[in-house]
């Protein structure tokens, strides 16, 4: 039987396509166009300059550390929220989303104030010889903060749905908690963990607001790629800014592809189980 | 979940009391450091010189102007993105057409892109060096470094917010009710307002609240296109940066406390709406926290 066709397709699809074209696609094409107008030699010179490469290294290495932290802490947080009952659990559950709700500039000045040498945490840490604000460690903390919810929110529902009989079966076979976790639970969580990790890493690569306050922004040491693109703009070096931004755009699309691939795999995995 | 933890069942892994206490302790410690301390430090600094000083900082003309500009931006950008989200969800979930998957990916793009890249991209459309720069200059239309640019950049950043809440929900709800309504003679609009809207209202509100929160807090994209003119094109987040770099800590944190309060209100409303069934997490059938729209089958 042929389905009845609902009305409103021309209007709704028309609005959607026009809006997506003007608001989302056009600016990105303009950026690619501007970067492409440089010519291959100039483009390569700009994106492979020492300062640009140093900014990639700072951004990627800090994002890596922040993501590893979020992998471990996010899993622990999801585990505690799903498996244990304790006073304040619901409040903690709601607060996990604070990094998404709190504007990045607000997060930036708060974290900087907390971790500056005279701050609540920075003071005791500097007494131990650890400097956080205006070092790569500060960048890592800002990145970890802004991408904290991803792993928690991807793992939490899978953990809630986990079939207890799988653990029970492993327990009756005499497995220790650690080996059951490593060999039964963790493999079931892996697709969700990977999806969360890729979202978290992608967000860290692009983060700007929270980082620039705490980073110190010294070229070659604590300058992230997003800031370099911004600085080139302020210097009216528009082609260089376009080139660097285009590198970030490519990285974003690679991460988008990776994330979609991982999520498609995770979906297949959950459906099969 | 709770029912599995009742005494009759054998303890599950990780339920040993000492391990449990230690893990909860560690997690609470990190939550306190990472999430609660930033909120506390905002309040502590905003009120460090007392309430009158705080009130004076908020009432300062440039801060007031920044608040107005931020509210105005949200009043324009949020309704437009809401209409877009509803239109996109209606087209994608209530109809079949080729390229739906591609459209889903395009709508999702802003989530993956750095706000700085978004801002720079807009500059190359509407700025003097941009595609339309010469035309706009000839027509004496100022988009960059003015309100339209701020609104456009905010709309880019938050374009997916409403659509991503509506699409999975409307996909799951199917088309039967709408088909019944139109077969009984209801018009498209009437079907939407009396049949579809009541079923999606909480998810819609959820998307609107999150969209508003992001518009009001957006920093990176807006900072590229605003020009940072004090008292003219400074939104509240940009004004916070300016005050902070002026070493006006009380002013910066007083302004920040407004946005932090907004964030806390957003979280409270979010939890309330999740109890009504909005938000992905309350739909266990869908894949866990799938941040992607691609779970929708074409």
Interval A131-168: pLDDT, tens: 999 999 999 999 999 999 999 999 999 999 988 888 88
Position A174 scores a pLDDT of 86
Q: Is residue A3 part of a domain?
A: no
Measured distance CA(B296)–CA(B283) in Å, rounded: 14
H-type alpha helices, chain B: 17-31, 37-46, 51-59, 61-94, 100-112, 115-126, 133-138, 147-158, 160-173, 176-183, 188-191, 197-217, 220-226, 236-245, 249-275
Q: Is residue A6 part of a domain?
A: no
Range of the domain at A251: 30-272
Please state, in angstroms and as integers, the Cα–Cα distance from residue A105 to each residue in A116, A223, A224, B16, B153, following that order: 16, 17, 16, 42, 16
Q: Is residue A115 part of a domain?
A: yes
Residue from B8, B20, B44, B120 to probe the interface with A (highest A Cβ count within 10 Å): B120
Q: Which residue ranges of chain B lie beneath pLDDT 70? A: 1-10, 280-298
Measured distance CA(A52)–CA(A41) in Å, rounded: 16
* Rounded (to 5) percent helix, strand, coil in chain A: 80, 0, 20
Q: Answer whether B289 sits within 8 Å of A153, measured CB to CB.
A: yes
Q: Work out the average pLDDT over A110-117.
A: 96
Q: Work out the average pLDDT over A223-233.
A: 96
pLDDT surpasses 60 at A39: yes
Q: Sorting pLDDT into bands at 50, 70 and 90, what band is A1? A: very low
Asked if B288 and B175 count as a contact pair (C-beta separation under 8 A), the reply is: no
DSSP state letters, B44-59 = HHHTTT-HHHHHHHHH
Nearest to A233, CA basis, from B135, B144, B239, B246: B144
Nearest to A233, CA basis, from B171, B120, B91, B134: B120
Q: Answer whether B264 sits within 8 Å of A101, measured CB to CB.
A: yes
Measured distance CA(A168)–CA(A188) in Å, rounded: 15
Mean pLDDT of chain A: 93
Percent pLDDT > 70 in chain B is: 90
Position B284 scores a pLDDT of 36
A270 against B11, higher pLDDT? B11
| Closest residue in chain B to residue A142, using alpha carbons only | B34
Q: Answer whether A85 sits within 8 Å of B5, measured CB to CB.
A: yes
Residues 43-82 in A contacting B (C-alpha not used; CB under 8 Å): 73, 76-77, 79-80, 82
Position A50 scores a pLDDT of 97
Q: Residues B40, B41, B46, B50: is their CA dihedral positive or negative? A: positive
Q: Residues B17, B18, B20, B21: is their CA dihedral positive or negative? A: positive
Residues 231-260 in A contacting B (C-alpha not used; CB under 8 Å): 233, 238, 241-242, 245, 248-249, 252-253, 255-256, 259-260
Position B277 scores a pLDDT of 86
Position A54 scores a pLDDT of 97
Position B292 scores a pLDDT of 40
pLDDT surpasses 80 at A267: no
Q: Is residue A13 part of a domain?
A: no
Out of A77, A157, A245, the one facing B288 most closely (by C-beta) is A157
Measured distance CA(A232)–CA(A246) in Å, rounded: 13
Q: Answer whether B294 sits within 8 Å of A168, measured CB to CB.
A: no
Residue B41 touches partner A, C-beta closer than 8 Å: yes
Q: Answer whether A253 sits within 8 Å of B112, measured CB to CB.
A: yes
Nearest to B41, CA basis, from A146, A122, A109: A109
Residue A269 touches partner B, C-beta closer than 8 Å: no
Nearest CA of chain B to the CA of A62: how many Å?
16
Position B296 scores a pLDDT of 41
**What CATH number corresponds to the domain at position A254?**
1.10.3720.10
Residue A19 touches partner B, C-beta closer than 8 Å: yes
Out of A5, A242, A263, the one facing B124 most closely (by C-beta) is A242
Q: Answer whether A105 sits within 8 Å of B295, measured CB to CB.
A: no
Residue from B8, B37, B98, B117 to probe the interface with A (highest A Cβ count within 10 Å): B117
Number of domains in chain A: 1
Residue A190 touches partner B, C-beta closer than 8 Å: no
Nearest CA of chain B to the CA of A59: how many Å?
13
Q: Answer whether B290 sits within 8 Å of A92, measured CB to CB.
A: no
Q: Is residue A5 part of a domain?
A: no
Q: Is residue A135 part of a domain?
A: yes
Q: Answer whether B291 sits within 8 Å of A33, measured CB to CB.
A: no
Question: Which single residue is written with the structure tokens 């502590």?
Answer: B44
Q: Work out the average pLDDT over A61-76.
A: 97
């Amino acid at each position: 039987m042929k389905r009845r066709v609902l009305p409103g397709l021309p209007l709704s699809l028309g609005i959607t396509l026009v809006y997506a074209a003007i608001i989302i696609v056009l600016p990105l094409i303009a950026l690619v166009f501007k970067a492409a107008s440089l010519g291959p030699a100039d483009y390569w010179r700009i994106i492979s300059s020492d300062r640009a490469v140093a900014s990639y290294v700072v951004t990627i290495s800090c994002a890596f550390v922040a993501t590893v932290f979020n992998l471990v802490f996010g899993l622990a947080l999801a585990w505690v929220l799903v498996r244990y009952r304790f006073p304040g659990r619901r409040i903690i559950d709601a607060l996990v989303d604070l990094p998404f709700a709190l504007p990045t500039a607000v997060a930036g000045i708060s974290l900087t104030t907390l971790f500056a040498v005279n701050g609540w945490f920075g003071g005791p840490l500097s007494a131990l010889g650890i400097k956080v604000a205006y070092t790569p460690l500060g960048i890592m903390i800002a990145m970890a903060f802004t991408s904290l919810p991803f792993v928690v929110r991807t793992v939490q529902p899978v953990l809630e749905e986990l079939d207890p009989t799988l653990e029970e079966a492993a327990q009756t076979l005499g497995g220790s908690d650690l080996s059951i976790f490593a060999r039964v639970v963790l493999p079931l969580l892996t697709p969700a963990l990977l999806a969360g990790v890729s979202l978290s890493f992608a967000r860290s690569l692009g983060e700007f607001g929270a980082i620039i306050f705490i980073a110190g922004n010294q070229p070659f040491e604590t300058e992230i790629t997003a800031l370099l693109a911004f600085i080139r703009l302020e210097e009216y070096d528009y082609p260089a800014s376009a080139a660097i931004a285009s590198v970030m755009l490519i990285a974003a699309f690679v991460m988008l592809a990776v994330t979609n691939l991982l999520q498609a795999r995770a979906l297949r995995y959950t459906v099969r189980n | 979940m709770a029912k599995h933890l009742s005494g009759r069942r054998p303890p599950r892994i990780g339920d040993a009391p000492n391990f449990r206490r230690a893990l909860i302790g560690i997690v609470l410690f990190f939550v306190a450091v990472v999430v609660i301390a930033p909120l506390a430090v905002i309040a502590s600094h905003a009120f460090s010189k007392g309430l009158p000083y705080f009130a004076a900082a908020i009432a300062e003309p440039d801060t007031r102007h920044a608040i107005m500009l931020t509210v105005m931006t949200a009043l324009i950008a949020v309704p437009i993105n809401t209409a877009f989200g509803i239109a996109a969800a209606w087209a994608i979930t209530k109809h079949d057409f080729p390229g739906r998957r591609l459209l889903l990916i395009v709508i999702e793009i802003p989530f993956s892109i750095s706000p700085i890249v978004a801002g720079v991209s807009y500059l190359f459309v509407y700025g003097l060096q941009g595609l339309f720069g010469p035309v706009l200059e000839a027509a004496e239309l100022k988009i960059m470094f003015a309100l339209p640019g701020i609104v456009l950049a905010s709309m880019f950043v938050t374009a997916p917010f409403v659509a991503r809440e509506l699409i999975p929900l409307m996909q799951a709800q199917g088309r039967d009710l709408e088909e019944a309504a139109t077969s009984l003679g209801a018009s498209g609009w009437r079907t939407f307002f009396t049949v579809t809207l009541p079923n999606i209202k909480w998810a819609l509100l959820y998307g609107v609240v999150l969209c508003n929160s992001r518009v009001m807090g957006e920093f990176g994209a807006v900072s590229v296109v605003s020009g940072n003119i004090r008292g003219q094109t400074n939104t509240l987040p940009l004004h916070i940066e300016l005050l902070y770099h002026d070493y006006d800590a009380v002013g910066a944190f007083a302004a920040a406390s407004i946005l932090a309060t907004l964030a806390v209100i957003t979280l409270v409303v979010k939890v309330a709406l999740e109890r009504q069934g909005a938000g992905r997490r309350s739909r266990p059938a869908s894949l866990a926290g799938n941040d992607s729209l691609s779970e929708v089958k074409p």
